[in-house]
Amino acid sequence: MFKEGIKYRKCDNGDFIKLHEINQERFINKTSLTTFKVGERLHRNTIFLAEDNNNAVGYVFGMGSQDNPEEGWIRQIAVLKKYEGRGIAKTLQKLCIEAFKSMRGVRYVGLSVEPGNKPALCLYKSLGFKIVEPEQVYETIAVNGKLAIKDYYGPGEHRFIMKKEL
Ligand SMILES: CC(C)(COP(=O)(O)OP(=O)(O)OC[C@H]1O[C@@H](n2cnc3c(N)ncnc32)[C@H](O)[C@@H]1OP(=O)(O)O)[C@@H](O)C(=O)NCCC(=O)NCCS
């Protein structure tokens, strides 16, 4: 698939290093190389890369749930700063959603998002994701009038849960 010269493809052997490099540029709380290696091995059907001239410029990291076959989960998405605002994340996320649709039993896609991450919230909303009330097992906190999971990623790291029905 092509868009403005950007090529999109499914994850292949060795891509974990490319994902990790983009992650290191885009996140303050960085993800380990091991996590991407495990992702490449176990979840490659729901990981996609965007490339410009064979250079990785973005990725989406999706994973099926091990205890709920109805759930697909988008673990992470990132696009290099230089490539933002061109619809790359939206295309990546659509590819991931389509991949989940083709997986037997998956009925919705979920994700967590930092309440203050406006670009990510706008991206997810533009694709039809809606903030949902967290499951009752979690302690919650109201942020901007919506319930988030309290301390999801450690003290003060609250997260909204968003879902999209397939
Ligand atoms: C969030 C991120 C992936 C968006 O990537 P992107 O390629 O620039 O996004 P797109 O160009 O595909 O934009 C998709 C939609 O989100 C909206 N959007 C993106 N950035 C936005 C911003 N800063 N403000 C408002 N809306 C924004 C776009 O308007 C677009 O909506 P539309 O199609 O209705 O116009 C990118 O900013 C990023 O990598 N951020 C750092 C990592 C991160 O926070 N990831 C998310 C948490 S895992």
- The residue whose CA is least distant from atom 20 of ligand 1 is 119
pLDDT at 47: 98
In tens, the pLDDT along 36-94 reads: 999 999 999 999 999 999 999 999 999 999 889 999 999 999 999 999 999 999 999 99
pLDDT at residue 2 in the model: 45
Instruction: Indicate the SS3 state at residue 93.
Output: helix
What number of other Cβ atoms are within 10 A of residue 11's Cβ?
Answer: 24
| pLDDT tens figures, 113-159 | 999 999 999 999 999 999 999 999 999 999 999 999 999 999 999 99
Average pLDDT value for residue range 91-107 = 97
Indicate if the alpha-carbon torsion angle 42, 151, 27, 86 is positive or negative. positive
C-alpha dihedral sign at 154, 44, 88, 65? negative
Reading across the β-sheet that carries 47-52, which strands appear in turn? 2-3, 6-10, 47-52, 55-64, 71-79, 108-113, 160-165, 130-132
pTM, entire model: 0.95
Pocket of ligand 1 (CB under 6 A): 26, 76-79, 84-90, 117-120, 122-123, 126
For the chain, the domains span 1-106, 110-166
Fold topology of 1-106: Aminopeptidase (3.40.630)
Q: Has residue 4 got a pLDDT over 60?
A: no
Atom 23 of ligand 1, residue of closest alpha carbon: 119
Q: φ and ψ at 70, to 5 degrees? A: -85, -10
Q: Which of 95, 59, 64 is nearest to 77 (CA)?
A: 59
In whole angstroms, give the CA distance from residue 138 to residue 68: 17
